[in-house]
Amino acid sequence: MNLEYILNRLLQTLLIMFMVSVLTFMFVSVLPGDPVVLLLGPESSASMTPEAIERAREDLGLNNPIPVRYAKWLGGVLTGDLGTSIRTRQPVLTAIRERAPVTLQLAAMAWVISTVIAIPAGVVAALRRNSWFDRAATMMATAGVAIPNFWLGILVLLLFSVKLGWFPASGYVDPFKDPIQGLRTLILPSMVLGLAQSATIMRQTRSSMLEVMGHDYIRTARSKGLTPYAVTVRHGLRNALLPIITVLGLRLGNLIGGSVIIETVFALPGMGRLAIGGIFAQDFPVVMGVVLVIGLTVPMATLVTDIAYGIADPRIKVSRSAS
Amino acid sequence: MTNISQPLSALSGTVDEGRGTPNVLRRLLQQRMVPVAFGVLLVVLICAVFAPVIAPADPVATSPLQALKSPSLDHPMGTDQLGRDILSRTIYGARVSLLIGFLAVSLSVIVGVPLGLISGYFGGMVDNIIMRAMDTIIAFPQIILALAIVAAFGGGMVQVLIAIGVGSIPPYCRVTRGQVLSVREEDYIRAAQSMGSTNVRILLRHILPNVMSPLIVQASLGVAFAILAEAGLSFLGVGVDPKTPTWGGMLSQALPIIRRAFHPSLFPGLAIFVTVLAVNVLGDALRDVLDPRLRGRS
């Protein structure tokens, strides 16, 4: 594993995280509208006298030049101060801490489900190209990419909760406190989220396997008399996995984005619903807190993916990261 | 005798002969499912354009006495909880979906392609800055970026358009840059440079034509994505004006009543699914036609 590669990727990630913080700050400070109204809420600011608004502006440091304000804001972010919710007066970080486990559990379960379904399906589809399985899997993947996950969520909810009554229709129980009930509340939403993701991963796995299985070393492995399992798994899948790892890592952003919608369908109290509630209540600090935390999480996940890729493929050098 | 007035790119062999529009269309239509996809999209387009003529009822007129009627001859898709005709609302919903689908992709292309051309052609610091800016946009899951934009600017057609369009710039920029990098060192580019062509002329006359195929494919799949994204935002209630009939908005209103009636959530969902599927089928077919190396790979 090339240390220079890791350092290079780390530096790039830090740069992206810095730019994410700049972009988020711009939403708070540069966009149209009075930042006092955005930060204190329209109701609070409407009831304030002009003098009180001016005092609040001074207290919030809004009269300082933008770079100074950014530095102060970043200092606060780095020490865990993401502001205070206008609606609940709760620190934004506390609100996010309470909600993040739900989103992470949902995304993690969906990730596992999508991987478990997609990789075997993609491998078999590639090995039996043009068979009925390949056609069915490809068709399912095409449909899976096109189906809106919130509609799939409604259909699943209707069948498994309303008609069959197998799973609760809404609500959340922490699986670490009550594993059975917790899984029952999470299984449907994570299945819906996972199925939508598995379509893309399955297509990538199939495509990767088709490419790898056409290489000379696979023919050599076969001619050496290796078992089909050894040829497929040890020589084929191992090499085909490299681009799949990238897709799996990059899907994290989609999983978190998708969970925002799925949380709404299944009434799960995650970060997505926190942000949506924030938009409706014009609770700007909460919305931006969620946006910032998610915006910082995705580059970190990409970094881990790239390092995993680098470990899996020793040919990866610094040059890859330049693109 | 060689025709010296023909563009240099034509000598390079990188632009396939036989990729003229009629030829591509003919090869597209030979593919299975493409005529069906075309048919579906034509129906959706007709619905969007002629909605006031086709829709059997006013899509926003409420009628409490007609609430939640099952599909019948009077209301082929039934009515919702306010007694509004679901067929009419579904027909009108095509307008927002298609409009945002195409305009958001246009925005992404208009911004992303020039950035990709500049990034790939000039390289160095310019390339680095543009690519890191793209990395920053990618860091935000699209729906999260859209929520941030809607939170800051408020909901509405233009805001949703910007939210979806801005979030989709990076793929166009990257695809363009990748293609530029692959042709930048070709002899015909060097020849154009040595003949004193300006950078703008080289980019537009010699490089852009070679970028078109992957861009068309990307854009076609982008329309599908934009339709899904718009529906998602409307479903969350942060899309276009809630009074405007949209497929996502209709699903959002149908969710609380699924125990009482299923049909309000069936038809708008089907409309999104079938439209996006048709666009994707067309996008996949375009990729097969324009880039035969990828045929059957995905």
- pLDDT exceeds cutoff 50 at B1: no
Residues A60, A44: Cα–Cα separation, whole Å: 15
- pLDDT exceeds cutoff 80 at B17: no
ipTM of the modeled complex: 0.84
- Mean pLDDT across the stretch B153-177? 90
- The per-residue pLDDT for A230 is 86
- Which residues of chain B does A294 touch, with a Cβ-Cβ cutoff of 8 Å? 140-141, 144
- pLDDT exceeds cutoff 80 at A96: yes
- pLDDT exceeds cutoff 50 at B8: no
A95-109, B5-19, B63-77, B264-278: which range is least confident on average?
A: B5-19
Q: Does A20 touch chain B (CB under 8 A)?
A: yes
- Which residue, B182, B172, B163, B170, is CA-closest to B240? B163
- Mean pLDDT across the stretch A83-98? 90
CB B172 within 8 A of CB B108: yes
Q: Which residue of B has its CA nearest to A151?
A: B269
Nearest CB to B265 within list A154, A211, A298 = A154
User: Tokens 């009822």 — which residue?
Assistant: B57
For chain A, give the percent of residues with pLDDT over 90.
33
- Mean pLDDT across the stretch B54-62? 93
For chain B, give the percent of residues with pLDDT over 70.
90
Helix ranges, chain A (H): 3-29, 35-40, 42-46, 50-59, 66-78, 92-127, 132-146, 149-156, 179-213, 216-223, 228-229, 238-265, 271-280, 284-312, 318-321
- pLDDT exceeds cutoff 60 at B18: no
Q: Classify residue B53 by burial, with Cβ atoms within 10 Å: 0-12, 13-18, 19+.
A: exposed
- The per-residue pLDDT for A317 is 53
For chain B, give the percent of residues with pLDDT over 90.
50
- The per-residue pLDDT for A315 is 65
Residues A180, B284: Cα–Cα separation, whole Å: 42
Question: Chain A window 271-300: which residues touch B at a Cβ cutoff of 8 Å?
Answer: 275-276, 278-280, 284, 287-288, 290-291, 294-296, 298-299
| Residue of A29, A34, A129, A151 to mutate when probing chain B, most B C-beta within 10 A | A151
A86-100, A117-131, A306-320: which range is least confident on average?
A: A306-320
- Mean pLDDT across the stretch B39-49? 96
- Mean pLDDT across the stretch B95-117? 94
pTM of the model as a whole: 0.85
- Which residues of chain A does B231 touch, with a Cβ-Cβ cutoff of 8 Å? 148, 150
**What b-and-e string marks burial along B277-286, b requiring 16 or more CB atoms within 10 Å of the CB?**
bbbbbbbbbb
- pLDDT exceeds cutoff 60 at B12: no
Q: Where in chain A is the domain with CATH 1.10.3720.10?
A: 95-322
- The DSSP bridge partners found for residue B85 are B79
CB A206 within 8 A of CB A137: yes
CATH code reported for the domain at A95-322: 1.10.3720.10
- The per-residue pLDDT for B228 is 94
Residues A99, A273: Cα–Cα separation, whole Å: 9
- pLDDT exceeds cutoff 80 at A95: yes
Question: Chain B window 177-216: which residues touch A at a Cβ cutoff of 8 Å?
Answer: 178
Average pLDDT taken over every residue of chain A: 85
- The separation between CA A106 and the C-alpha centre of its own chain, rounded to angstroms, equals 10
- Mean pLDDT across the stretch B203-209? 86
For chain A, give the percent of residues with pLDDT over 70.
92
- Mean pLDDT across the stretch A99-125? 92
- pLDDT exceeds cutoff 60 at B3: no
- The per-residue pLDDT for B92 is 96
- Residue B49 — very low, low, confident or very high, per pLDDT cuts 50/70/90? very high
- Residue B185 — very low, low, confident or very high, per pLDDT cuts 50/70/90? confident
Nearest CB to A151 within list B131, B135, B269 = B269
- pLDDT exceeds cutoff 70 at B9: no
- pLDDT exceeds cutoff 80 at A150: yes
Cβ separation B272–A210 shorter than 8 A: no
Q: How many CA atoms lie within 13 A of B107 on its CB side?
A: 18
- The per-residue pLDDT for B240 is 87
Residues B38, A173: Cα–Cα separation, whole Å: 46
CATH architecture for the domain at B2-7+87-290: Orthogonal Bundle (1.10)
- pLDDT exceeds cutoff 80 at A28: no
A238-288 tens-digit pLDDT: 888 777 877 777 777 788 888 889 999 999 999 999 999 988 887 888 988
A285-319 tens-digit pLDDT: 898 899 999 999 888 888 888 887 777 666 655 44
B235-294 tens-digit pLDDT: 998 888 888 999 999 999 999 998 899 999 999 999 999 999 999 999 888 888 876 555
Cβ separation B151–A298 shorter than 8 A: no
Q: Does B102 touch chain A (CB under 8 A)?
A: no
- Mean pLDDT across the stretch B119-129? 91
